[in-house]
Copies of this chain bind each other. A is one copy, B any other.
Amino acid sequence: KALTIGLIPADGIGREVIPAARQVLEALPCDIMPSRLSFVDLDAGFEYFQKHGVALPEKTLEALKDSCDGALFGAVSSPSHKVAGYSSPIVGLRKKMDLYANVRPVISGAAATASGEKRAIDMLIIRENTECLYIKEEEQHEGPNGKYATAKRRISEFASRRAGEMAFSMALQRENMRQQVPLAERTWKARPKVTIVHKSNVLSVTDGLWRETVRSVYTGNSEYSSKIDIEEQLVDSMVYRMFREPEAFDVVVAPNMYGDIISDGAAALVGSLGLVPSANVGDNFVVGEPVHGSAPDIAGKNIANPIAAIRSAAMLLERTGYGSAALAIYRAVDKALESGQIKTPDLGGKATTTKVTEAVCKLL
C-alpha cells in the first residue's frame, strides 16, 4: 500500500515550509508509517498566475483527483492591487474539491502567548469552508452617488449541517481521546462543549439559518445532546471573550469569514501563526494547510517557522487513517518546542527553518 500526497507550495514561504513538512514525513520510521509515501509536485499560486495567467491550473486539480490521496498546500500571496482574472487558488481548491470544513486546532501546549505567559488553550475551530462571502459573487454598479459594489453572502442548510455535523462529531472524538488520560491528570472540563458563532442580531436570516441548522444537528442526535454542551456567541463578543478567557473554549464552529478571523486571533494567543495547522476536509479528500500566509517579507531567508506546515502534514495523516504516524509527529513537535531551544524568529529565537525541521525529524 502507498499513500500519495500532492504538494502545492504556491507562494512565498510556502516554498520553504512545504518541503520541510515533506522532509518530516519522509523521516517517519517504517514501524510507525507502514505505507510507502510518494509525492507529486503541483503548481498553483499568485506567482504562477503572473507567469501563466491561471492561479489554480486544471492539471493540478486533475492530478489531485486522479492520483493523490491527499495534499499539502503552502500559502498564497495577495496582489496589492486588483488584478483582472485572478482569483485565490486556495478558495478555488476548497470549492472544487468540496473540502467543506476547515479544521483548525489551536493548542497552547509548549508555546507561549504573546505576553510570554502560558495558558491552557485547547480549541478546535471548525470553519465552514465553501460558502458565506467566499462564494465571490460580486458586482460593480454605477449609482447616482458614484460607484458601488455588492457581494453576496450565502448560507445554506446543507453546508451548515455538514459543518455542524463535523463540529459535534469531532467534539465527541476529542472527548474519547481525553478519556484515555487518567482522571487525576486531566486539566480540562469534564464535558465537551461546542460554541456556535454567528451575528444573528444583525443577519437574522442568513445567520439565523446557520444557527438554527447547527442547533438542529445537536437536538436531532441524542448522543450529541446528551454528551455535549452548546453555547452561542456573537462574533464580536467571541473575539473579545477569546482574548479574555481562551481556556473557556473547546470546539468552536463558525461560518467561513468569521472562522477565518477567529482562527487568526486564536493563533495570536498561542504565540505565533507559525504554529497553527489546519486541514481542509471533505468526504473523500483532505488538504493540510498552515494557517499562516505567504509572508513575503521573510520569504527565501530560511527563517519561516515550519511547525504549522509539519502539523498540517500530521493532520493529513490523521485523516487518511495513519493515526499513530500523526501522533508521532505531534509528539516530536511538542518535544522540540518544549526544549525551548530551537525557535524561529516569530517565537523570539534565531533558528532556521532547516534547524527546526531537523530537530523534529530527530525526535520522531
A residues near B (Cβ < 8 Å) are 76, 78-80, 82, 86-88, 91, 113-115, 117, 133-134, 136, 138-140, 143, 145-158, 199-206, 208-209, 212, 232, 234-237, 239-244, 257, 260-261, 263-265, 267-269, 273, 293
Contacts and interface: CB of A to CB of B under 8 A. Distances in A.
A333 to B, nearest CB: 21
Copies in the complex: 2
12 contacts: A91-B202, A140-B205, A143-B156, A145-B157, A148-B155, A148-B157, A148-B158, A149-B206, A150-B206, A199-B257, A237-B293, A265-B265
Could you tell me the dominant secondary structure of chain A's interface residues? mixed
A12 to B, nearest CB: 13
Contacts of A145: 156-158
Contact of A239 (B76, B156, B232, B265): B265
- 3 tightest Cβ-Cβ pairs between the two chains A and B: A138-B205, A148-B156, A243-B268
B269 A243 contact: yes
Looking at A86, A206, A232, A263, the one whose CB has the most chain B CB atoms below 10 A away is A206
B293 A268 contact: no
Nearest to A144: B158
A295 to B, nearest CB: 10
